[in-house]
Structure 1
Amino acid sequence: MDLLSTMKKINDIFWSYILTFLLCGTGIFFTFRLRFVQVRKFKEGWKRVFGGLSLKGERAGKDGMSSFQALSTAIAAQVGTGNLAGAATAIVSGGPGAIFWMWVSAFFGMATIFAEATLSQLFKERVDGEITGGPAYYISKGLNNKYLAGFFSVAIIVALGFMGNMVQSNSIGSAFSTAFGFEPVIVGIIIAIIAGFIFIGGVGRIASVTEKIVPIMALFYLLGGLVILILNYTNVLPAFKMIFVGAFKPEAVLGGAIGVSVKQAIRYGVARGLFSNEAGMGSTPHAHAVAKVKHPGEQGTVAIVSVFIDTFIVLTMTALVILSTGALNTGVTGIELTQNAFSMGFKSLGNFGNIFIAICLLFFAFSTIIGWYFFAEANVKYLFGTKHLNIFRLLVLICIVVGAALKVDLVWELADTFNGLMVIPNLIALIFLSSKVSNSLKEYESLKQDYIDYE
């Protein structure tokens, strides 16, 4: 049995049973414990996000970054290959119904990410003069368990800093190979050089880049997708029907011969949903921890919106374009399927669809590389302080180059495995510290509006 087959079997058990139950269960738990905070506080979070929208905010530094910069860094990590290549692989492997289960997991995940962001604010610290935080800090201080915190830190360094960034560069390399005929490894080298320049600039340069890239790249992608949906408007409602029917009767959409079951739709929907919005994974709290806010609950409401934008807007756009153009029948998967969908949507413009997705993916995946590096770096600081950062940066850059040339199926499976390993210690901490989240929310809601001004 080869490595790819072995990893698929491991992930099938891991994601079909263990993590699906844990992630959805935790989201449901916080949804009721926090009295549907993702619904009650959504409007407030939306106002915070778009009230603070700026492409040139105050420069981030040792005291942290603005709330919008923290959100941009979080979304930079969330909106990546999971929205383009990940949505495509979910539909191929789990049928159109997998998108429905992505929505379900995202809805409950909005409550989970509120808890993550709140705890990261409550337990943030100053390390070697710089504000930092994340699950390792609320695990070690909140649960008083340094061993579990250490396990999480190692898992996230491997999962995002190494494996995750290999996935991102792999997708960029594949997209540019299809669109322009470039050698993937050459693309990987160029990406590594640019990323290295940003890494060296620290939190200030990272925040400055993400606050500019994220709003522009999201708007560019959504406009392109919207044009295709307008051109194929008669297929939009049937696409939604495929998603809802496929969630419970995949054979009615794909035919019984395809062999896709409801379990597979749930498995791939939740797995790719996590890879996309990262709720419960323990990654985005590193960005929310360094936001300069008056109360932890403020950043919790902002975090809710990040999951909504990632899954219900960007990821859904990808799915609708794939289903409405008929690209699902082309027999490919991953980023190639998304490229085919946009090529079919822009067929009157020749190769424009492939070029459009290659450019979008460059910005999506590159911004994710920056965000994931930032998250992993926070855990290197937790374990070793700042003295070994240059070695870590070099290892990440090597992974970016190597990842561009690897086989995509193996990279995705390895990423799924290590993402899963991150989830377990983070969810343990969230559950045991849920009373602190609940108390913080109650305190936040009791504050006068002239103290928490978000208009």
Structure 2
Amino acid sequence: MEKFSQMISQLTGVIWGLPMMLLLLGGGIFLTFRLKFFQFRFLPHIIGQTFGKIFAKSNAPGSVTPFQATTSALASTMGAANIVGVPVAIALGGPGAIFWMWVVALIGMATKYSEVLLGIHYRQKNKEGEWVGGPMYYIDKGLGWKKVASFFAIALMIEIVASTMVQANSIATTVKGSFGVSPIVTGIVVMILVGLVTYGGIRTIGKVSERLIPLMVVLYLVSALAVLFVNISEIPTAFALIFKHALTPISATGGFVGAGVAAAIRWGLARGLYSNEAGMGTAPIAHSAAKNDHPAKQGFWGIFEVIVDTMIVCTITALVILTSGAWTEIGPNEASTMVTTALEPIFGVSLSGTIISTTLFFFVITTVIVIVYYGEKQAEYLFGTRFSKVMRFVYIASILIGAIGGLKFIWQFLDLMLACVVVPNMIALLFLSKNVQAITNDYFVKFRKAAKRNRTIQTLQANIF
């Protein structure tokens, strides 16, 4: 068993190294060129259609509001990757890693936009009257690759079993370390919470995530901004470190062991690729339920996700670590504690630990809720709505098993199964890129016509009155 585990570990290490980076980053670059850098050219418009319409209501077809769909998708990306992953990237790649994290996020906007757009374009209503979609539908309906769509669905359905266990174990470990609560108790509580929310379907998930995700983001950002306020004079220095060491090595200092340019690029790209899940095919499953009258408009919310997750939250985390000096005090093996350490001078040891533990707890709770929904939709695509309910019970049971650390041999398949999800999704995005381009052009043609018509009406009204 040990040799088998080592073989799986080595295989996933190879797959999630250069090959996966080339696929995700290369695919994002291709889509960026295909769409003529639209995420930069139309950024003000995209911001106006997302940040400017967070509370807007819609009568368009769909099950949840665009913002509810977005917070549901964000629920599966926000959390440990933002609070723990960024410190690890800095510890191993230096401050310059953040620059490359930004670069890949800007490129990943095209990928996230494309998959969300396709999710809406190829979605359909299920037997319960809910809108469903995702890679399995656009691979099937858009390309006619039924077997590939089924392979994607099976891989994601199984991957979520392992992912649920890992997330549950993360919650149980955090709660035990911070509050001394038994993992069994934590597992049961999480099971009940997840079961109650997922029972209500995407509408209930949307309502919960709409309230919980912004609350947790605000709690974390307020705590982080307090650190930045105290260390405000160090912010220019932090940005200087980021830009300088994106292209030049940095020497060892304190607990930091030093890093070359290659390490900065590697860890920055890795953090940027994995933090917002662009190209992984999960976000379109949540977004496909959104009330929207044009696929491109919901695609803009995919870009909103990347902005919030990577450009805002991950960047704030990086600045907290760099301005506080935590990155020079703590070595790579303890990098996950950097944010807590940065908060301690302001909030004290006990409160700092409580803030981070509470934030992570609720982020992981929402993650589990959403990925259980993702798993149900794969089961529904493959075998119908009845079987999706069976898988819901499997996922909920896996929460308790994971919380107490059971069936750990399944966890080692997590990265391997995730690769089986990413590869078909990215290939499908590349083959459907012309469709994405055509739908995007359609939106902007209609937008310009509407804008021109509105200007004409305003001119006539001004002349009359």
CA distance in 2, matches of 1:31, 1:165: 33
Alpha carbons of 1:197 and 1:78: their partners in 2 closer, same or farther (altered >3 Å)?
same
- Cα deviation, 1:314-334, whole Å, max 9, x if unaligned, reads 111122222332333334446
CA distance in 2, matches of 1:253, 1:240: 19
Identity percentage over the alignment?
37
Q: 1:372 Cα deviation (Å)?
A: 1.8
CA distance in 2, matches of 1:312, 1:248: 20
Q: 1:79 Cα deviation (Å)?
A: 1.3
- Once the two structures are overlaid, the 10-residue window that deviates more, 231-240 or 147-156, is 231-240
Partner SS state of residue 17, structure 2: helix
Indicate conservation of the 8 Å contact 1:339/1:357, yes or no: yes
Q: 1:42 Cα deviation (Å)?
A: 2.4
Indicate conservation of the 8 Å contact 2:94/2:264, yes or no: yes
Indicate conservation of the 8 Å contact 1:274/1:281, yes or no: no
CA distance in 1, matches of 2:216, 2:10: 36
Q: 1:403 Cα deviation (Å)?
A: 3.1
Match of 1:281 in 2: 280
**Within-5 A mapping of 1:309-324:** 309-324=308-323
Match of 2:402 in 1: 403
Indicate conservation of the 8 Å contact 2:50/2:300, yes or no: no
Indicate conservation of the 8 Å contact 1:148/1:425, yes or no: yes
CA distance in 1, matches of 2:445, 2:191: 47
Q: For this pair of structures, how many residues does the alignment match?
A: 447
Match of 2:189 in 1: 190
Indicate conservation of the 8 Å contact 2:249/2:261, yes or no: yes
Indicate conservation of the 8 Å contact 1:88/1:333, yes or no: no
CA distance in 2, matches of 1:333, 1:277: 24
Match of 1:154 in 2: 154
- Cα deviation, 1:6-27, whole Å, max 9, x if unaligned, reads 5553343223211111111111
- Once the two structures are overlaid, the 10-residue window that deviates more, 318-327 or 418-427, is 318-327
Alpha carbons of 1:84 and 1:307: their partners in 2 closer, same or farther (altered >3 Å)?
same
Q: 1:374 Cα deviation (Å)?
A: 2.1
- The answer to whether 1:50 aligns with 2:67 is no
Indicate conservation of the 8 Å contact 2:238/2:319, yes or no: yes
CA distance in 2, matches of 1:306, 1:191: 26
Match of 2:267 in 1: 268
CA distance in 1, matches of 2:190, 2:57: 25
Match of 1:16 in 2: 17
Partner SS state of residue 49, structure 1: helix
Letter of the structure 2 residue corresponding to residue 330 of structure 1 = I
Normalised TM-score (structure 2) = 0.87
Q: 1:411 Cα deviation (Å)?
A: 9.4
Q: 1:447 Cα deviation (Å)?
A: 0.4
CA distance in 2, matches of 1:415, 1:243: 32
Letter of the structure 2 residue corresponding to residue 163 of structure 1 = A
Q: 1:39 Cα deviation (Å)?
A: 1.5
- Once the two structures are overlaid, the 10-residue window that deviates more, 269-278 or 222-231, is 269-278
- Once the two structures are overlaid, the 10-residue window that deviates more, 241-250 or 40-49, is 241-250
- Cα deviation, 1:265-321, whole Å, max 9, x if unaligned, reads 434333333332011111101122121111111111121111111001011112222
Letter of the structure 2 residue corresponding to residue 131 of structure 1 = W
Match of 1:166 in 2: 165
Alpha carbons of 1:86 and 1:293: their partners in 2 closer, same or farther (altered >3 Å)?
same
Letter of the structure 2 residue corresponding to residue 199 of structure 1 = T
- Cα deviation, 1:390-447, whole Å, max 9, x if unaligned, reads 321222223323333449x999975444333211100110000110000001111110
Indicate conservation of the 8 Å contact 1:246/1:252, yes or no: no
Match of 2:461 in 1: none
Indicate conservation of the 8 Å contact 2:132/2:289, yes or no: yes
Match of 2:456 in 1: none
Indicate conservation of the 8 Å contact 2:133/2:289, yes or no: yes
Letter of the structure 1 residue corresponding to residue 140 of structure 2 = S
- Once the two structures are overlaid, the 10-residue window that deviates more, 390-399 or 137-146, is 390-399
Partner SS state of residue 125, structure 2: strand
Alpha carbons of 1:255 and 1:357: their partners in 2 closer, same or farther (altered >3 Å)?
closer
Alpha carbons of 1:2 and 1:100: their partners in 2 closer, same or farther (altered >3 Å)?
farther
CA distance in 2, matches of 1:376, 1:28: 29
CA distance in 2, matches of 1:367, 1:284: 14
Letter of the structure 2 residue corresponding to residue 143 of structure 1 = L
Match of 2:460 in 1: none
Letter of the structure 2 residue corresponding to residue 268 of structure 1 = W
Partner SS state of residue 114, structure 1: helix
Letter of the structure 2 residue corresponding to residue 70 of structure 1 = A
CA distance in 2, matches of 1:88, 1:226: 17
Q: 1:335 Cα deviation (Å)?
A: 4.3
Letter of the structure 1 residue corresponding to residue 65 of structure 2 = S
CA distance in 2, matches of 1:356, 1:185: 23
CA distance in 2, matches of 1:167, 1:272: 19
- Cα deviation, 1:46-88, whole Å, max 9, x if unaligned, reads 222233334x97899x942111111111122221221112223
Q: 1:190 Cα deviation (Å)?
A: 1.6
CA distance in 1, matches of 2:196, 2:65: 22
CA distance in 1, matches of 2:449, 2:210: 27
Indicate conservation of the 8 Å contact 2:250/2:258, yes or no: yes
Alpha carbons of 1:91 and 1:178: their partners in 2 closer, same or farther (altered >3 Å)?
farther
Q: 1:249 Cα deviation (Å)?
A: 3.8
Match of 2:291 in 1: 292
Match of 1:143 in 2: 143
Q: 1:240 Cα deviation (Å)?
A: 3.0
Match of 2:247 in 1: 248
Indicate conservation of the 8 Å contact 2:58/2:292, yes or no: no
Letter of the structure 1 residue corresponding to residue 224 of structure 2 = G
Match of 1:353 in 2: 352
